[in-house]
Amino acid sequence: MEEFETLTLTGGKKLSMTKVESVDGFSEQFIKLTVNKKRTVITGDGLKITVFNKTSGELVAEGNFYDIKFEGEKAPLIKRLFK
């Protein structure tokens, strides 16, 4: 049985996610993640990752969240290099 990621956004200011495999980049305006083999981009202002546990896949972030986009599966590195 496939497990799905969970996402909880509380008051637009606190975000909790599961199944986070990696944090691929972040600043105060965005957080780029790989979640359950999919790219995920979160945008907002004053974003700050407060908890990230790679073993359990838990991520907690705070700030003002504006947009969350789930993109397609992340291609293997070799395919991204030789398009």
Contact assessment for residue 25 and residue 32, using Cβ atoms and an 8 Å cutoff? yes
Nearest of 47, 40, 48 to residue 18 by alpha carbon: 40
By the 8 A CB rule, do 38 and 72 touch?
yes
Q: So what's the pLDDT on residue 72?
A: 76
Q: pTM for the complete prediction? A: 0.81
What's the average pLDDT block by block, 10 residues per block, for the chain (83 residues)? 80 94 96 92 97 96 95 63 58
Please tell me whether residue 78 adopts helix, strand or coil conformation. helix
**Helix (H), strand (E) at residue 79:** helix 77-81
Q: Are 57 and 36 in contact (CB under 8 A)?
A: no
Domain residue ranges in the chain: 7-73
Q: Is the dihedral of CA 6, 54, 72, 63 positive or negative?
A: positive
Task: Report the CATH fold assignment for 7-73.
Answer: Immunoglobulin-like (2.60.40)
